[in-house]
A and B are shown apart, each in its own frame.
Chain A
Amino acid sequence: MLPSIMENSTDDYRIQSFDQDTQMLLKTALKDPSSVNLEKVSNIIVDQSLKDQVFSKEAGRICYTIVQAEAKQSNGNVFRRNLLNRLQQEFKDREETRGRSLQEWVCFVTFICNIFDYLKVNNTPMVALVHPVYDCLMRLAQPDALMNEEEVDCLVLQLHRIGEQLEKVNNQRMDELFFLLRDGFLLQEGLGSMARLLLLEILEFRAGGWMLSSTAHKYYYSEISD
């Protein structure tokens, strides 16, 4: 197979940030999972997701494909199991991660939400992830987090992507989250203007049934013409 062909087919997985050897390993994992060490592959993916913002936004896709490939090839679950248990470990240590590096924390939240989005069981979200994801979003909605634009940005991005699904599996927690967001918008002292904008938009977004009316969309997303 020509290298260029393989490049094209794996473009979507955003693996360009990996070194060549690792890229080869990942590509092999996608095509022939039982020939590679899947535990190692899942660790590589998780590690990179915690460092690379671009990758963390799309890593769910490659994970999904490997899970499917392994299930089909050998009815195995090694990759998924290791991935989830790594995630669980990172989740457990999230507060410490946040204290050490906001970027890593944000990457983690992005990654776990992306996994929630892509890795479904019989087309339904994995139940085991619902509360952890909510926990992460609630953390982002805390007063100290709202002061950081990157955390607010992460929060609204996740809600745009998976808010509707999350609400469907647990409406009550979504309500609780939005209480916090309203409070943050109204009461938070020293909130940046960008943060306020993002919060206002997400409040409208949910109120509109997880989409913006065309006028609201125009307001938030159109170029300001002079």
Chain B
Amino acid sequence: MSDWTRDRQRDASSSEPDRRNIGPSRWSHCRKRGIDGSLRTSEADGGDLKGVGQTGSRHLDSRHASFTTPEGTGPVSRCGRQADWGSQVEDDEMRRDVHRDMQRRRILGAEVTQRERKTSSGSSGSCDSREGENMETDEAVLLRRQKQINYGKNTLAYDRYIKEVPKHMRQPGIHPKTPNKFRKYSRRSWDQQIKLWKVKLHAWDPPREDGKDKALDNIEELDLNDVMDIELDFPTLTDSQSAPASLTTHSFLVEDEECLGTPVKVQKTEEPTAEPDMA
């Protein structure tokens, strides 16, 4: 299975060579290697399993409590596969969900394109997720994007948002919209969209006791200079509440990974300033 191959490749580049499963065994060609490398042979059962029986491994990106629904275990490393069964099953589940999404997208492709055309910012169609043409189909990319989306959706803010604003009441520009993982975007563009989406979601964070608007705290974390080649599919341009309208949709050169050429006018992310009104 490709899962295991990927696992072995990752572990090959890990910094813990002493934990390798030394020596060939019957199943080594299809064996999952745990972090302690001991999933098969009983004699290699030494070493500790990360995150087993506890609330998962702690990672550098600590998040506020409001970022996670009571799943409890907190953030999991976004890079590299976890060896604990809990994570493996979740990853497996996500993979299946993404595949199902892809199938659905292929079948419903034409219909979706019609709807999305209405809300797109007048693109030439190069970023439509019309079946077969410009749909993102790379599994690794889709999985990564889905994971990022899941992180955003597994928040109290998101829960409150969807309860408060049913889909048909959503107004483009005001209400955050989940980025469409099936569209072709550059890595950078996608990552920025996710960032902005999550920033917007903060407007629905549960109120803090000290009355301080948490949304503002998180805005400061964003390096606004990085907010450059964003491809927005909601037209904030025409939004009456967007204060400095110096937003430029860096149009559809987003296929470039690097931001080359003329620097884009930096968006002063008018959304955050608007958010306190909505909080």
Question: Which A positions have Cβ atoms within 8 angstroms of B?
Answer: 34, 38-39, 74-78, 80-82, 84-89, 92-95, 121-122, 124, 126-129, 131-132, 135, 173, 176
Knowing A75-B154, A81-B73, A92-B45, the reply to whether A126 touches B92 (Cβ < 8 A) is: yes
Q: Is B202 an interface residue (CB 8 A)?
A: no
* Chain B interface residues toward A at CB < 8 A: 1, 3, 26-27, 31-32, 38-40, 42, 45, 49, 51-56, 69-73, 84-90, 92-93, 96-97, 100, 154
* Shortest CB distance B274–A (Å): 29
Distance in angstroms from B70 CB to nearest chain A CB is 6
Contact (A80, B27) CB under 8 Å given A39-B72, A95-B42, A127-B3:
no
Beta-carbon contact of B84 and A77 below 8 Å: no
Query: When chains A and B are docked, how far (Å) is the Cα of A10 from the Cα of B275?
Result: 48
Query: Interface residues of B: mostly helix, strand, loop or mixed?
Result: loop
Known contacts A38-B72, A131-B31; A92/B38 CB under 8 A: yes
Q: Which residue of B lies closest to A75 (CB)?
A: B69
Contacts of A80 on B, CB cut-off 8 Å? 86, 89
CB within 8 A of B96: which of A75, A88, A93, A122?
A122
Evaluate contact between B70 and A128: CB separation under 8 angstroms.
no
Q: Known: A81-B73, A81-B90, A131-B32. Is A121-B96 also a contact (CB below 8 A)? A: yes
In the complex, A92→B45 CA distance in Å? 6
B69 & A121 in contact (Cβ 8 Å cutoff)? no
Residues of the B chain whose Cβ atoms lie less than 8 Å from the Cβ of A93:
45
- Of the candidates A74, A75, A80, A127, the one having the most CB atoms from chain B within 10 angstroms of its own CB is A127
What residue of chain B has the Cβ atom nearest to residue A172's Cβ?
A: B30
Given contacts A81-B56, A92-B38, A131-B40, 6 further A-B contacts (CB under 8 A): A78-B72, A80-B86, A82-B86, A86-B52, A88-B52, A173-B27
Q: Is the CB of B89 within 8 A of A84?
A: yes
The docked-state distance in angstroms from the alpha carbon of A122 to that of B90 is: 12
Q: A121-B92, A121-B93 are in contact. Are A76 and B69 (CB under 8 A)?
A: yes
Cβ of A126: which chain B residues have Cβ within 8 Å of it? 85, 89, 92
Q: Which of B49, B53, B92 has the most CB of A within 10 A?
A: B53
In the complex, A129 Cα to B39 Cα: how many Å? 11
Q: Is B85 a contact of A88 with CB atoms below 8 Å?
A: yes
The secondary structure that dominates the A interface is helix
* With A85-B84, A92-B38: A78-B89 Cβ-Cβ less than 8 Å: no
Contacts of B73 in A (CB 8 A): 78, 81
**Residues in B neighbouring A122, C-beta threshold 8 A:** 93, 96-97, 100
A78 and B71 within 8 A (CB): yes
Interchain CA distance A89-B154 in the complex, whole Å: 27
What are 17 A-B contacts with C-beta separation under 8 Å?
A: A38-B72, A74-B70, A78-B73, A80-B89, A81-B71, A81-B73, A81-B90, A94-B42, A121-B96, A124-B96, A126-B85, A127-B1, A129-B85, A131-B27, A131-B31, A131-B39, A176-B26
* Alpha-carbon gap, A76 to B31, bound state (A): 29
Report, nearest first, the 10 A-B pairs whose CB atoms are least far apart.
A81-B86, A84-B85, A128-B88, A78-B72, A84-B86, A128-B85, A95-B42, A88-B85, A89-B52, A85-B52
| Residues in chain A near residue B100, CB distance under 8 A | 122
Q: Which residues of B contact A77 (CB under 8 A)?
A: 71, 86, 90
Query: What residues of chain A lie closer than 8 Å to B26, measured between beta carbons?
Result: 176
Chain A residue numbers with a CB within 8 Å of B84 are 84-85, 88
B72 touching A95 by the CB < 8 A rule? no
